């Protein structure tokens, strides 16, 4: 199987996941009252309206990158950081029905743009708005993360416990590797019992040899929720050696924002 065929297959799988994730989000929005839209979200300084506008504008920004992959044009994800922020602010106060229609339509534009790519387009290198380069097949992966994380950020009943297992597993691996490479973090071993996975963060802080001083065990969704800043450690059991620690919220270290 060629690299292009493999990339296209990976993209197709993730595109299906983004469609399913969008339907779950729309189901949540169907239960939302218009008066709840200006209420605070889980993101500092943002209302639920800010979160929904960002979800929609993110889809359009990824359409730009999909078009770049297909045509070879150098189309930036956003015109500028200032334009991105201004669009989110401008759209945040719109009525709920308009926001819902925007989320649905922007996701459809993303799906339609992806459908135009041939297999070889999915291997094209693209530049993220933050500057790093990645292959086009990862665009649906990034879109899925936007949908799943910001669905939680709405504070509307969808939590890390609702995440699809493949998403939680993939993000546990990604974030575990990301934070495992960061200096200055206290040593923590994360054990996802249900997924059979482990991740090791930080350096030695009192453990025995290469054993970490702190162990956090629990479901992969709960661990990914903590790693991503979407949970304070609820659902985890934390211990140091044979000493069980009562409250994971005070025992676990504070992590920097996820990459």
Domains of the chain: 3-158 (1.20.120.450), 165-251 (3.30.1050.20)
Which pTM was predicted? 0.93
52 vs 12, 26, 66, 178, CA distance in Å? 25, 11, 21, 27
Please list the pLDDT of the chain residue by residue as tens digits (259 residues): 579 999 999 999 999 999 999 999 999 999 999 999 999 999 999 999 999 999 999 999 999 999 999 999 999 999 999 999 999 999 999 999 999 999 999 999 999 999 999 999 999 999 999 889 999 999 999 999 999 999 999 999 999 999 999 999 999 999 999 998 788 888 899 999 999 999 999 864 444 445 557 899 999 999 999 999 999 888 899 988 777 666 767 888 889 887 6
pLDDT at residue 208, as a whole number: 47
Beta bridge partners of 125: 135
Residues 6+ apart with CB under 8 A from 217: 190, 191, 193, 236, 237, 238, 239
pLDDT at residue 60, as a whole number: 98
pLDDT at residue 207, as a whole number: 47
Residues 6+ apart with CB under 8 A from 54: 46, 88, 150
Residues 6+ apart with CB under 8 A from 150: 51, 54, 55
pLDDT at residue 246, as a whole number: 60
pLDDT at residue 209, as a whole number: 45
């Amino acid at each position: 199987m060629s690299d292009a065929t493999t990339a296209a297959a990976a993209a197709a799988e993730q595109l299906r996941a983004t469609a399913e994730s969008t339907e779950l989000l729309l189901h949540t929005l169907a239960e939302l009252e218009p008066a709840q839209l200006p209420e605070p979200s889980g993101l500092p300084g943002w209302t639920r309206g800010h979160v929904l506008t960002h979800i929609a504008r993110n889809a359009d920004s990824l359409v730009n990158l999909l078009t770049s992959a297909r045509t070879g044009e150098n189309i930036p994800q956003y015109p500028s950081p200032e334009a991105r922020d201004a669009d989110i602010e401008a759209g945040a106060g719109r009525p709920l029905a308009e926001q819902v229609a925007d989320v649905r339509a922007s996701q459809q534009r993303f799906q339609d743009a992806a459908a135009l790519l041939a297999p070889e387009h999915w291997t094209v290198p693209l530049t993220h708005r933050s500057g790093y380069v990645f292959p086009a097949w990862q665009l649906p992966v990034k879109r899925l993360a936007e949908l799943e994380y910001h669905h939680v950020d709405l504070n509307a009943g969808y939590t890390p416990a609702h995440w699809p297992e493949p998403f939680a597993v993939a993000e546990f691996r990604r974030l575990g590797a990301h934070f495992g490479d960061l200096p200055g973090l206290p040593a923590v071993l994360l054990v996802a019992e249900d997924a059979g996975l482990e991740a090791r963060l930080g350096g030695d802080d009192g453990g025995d040899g290469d054993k970490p001083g702190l162990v956090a065990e629990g479901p992969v969704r709960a661990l990914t929720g903590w790693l991503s800043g979407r949970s304070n450690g609820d659902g985890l059991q934390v211990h140091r050696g044979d000493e069980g620690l009562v409250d994971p919220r005070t025992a676990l270290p504070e992590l920097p924002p996820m990459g």
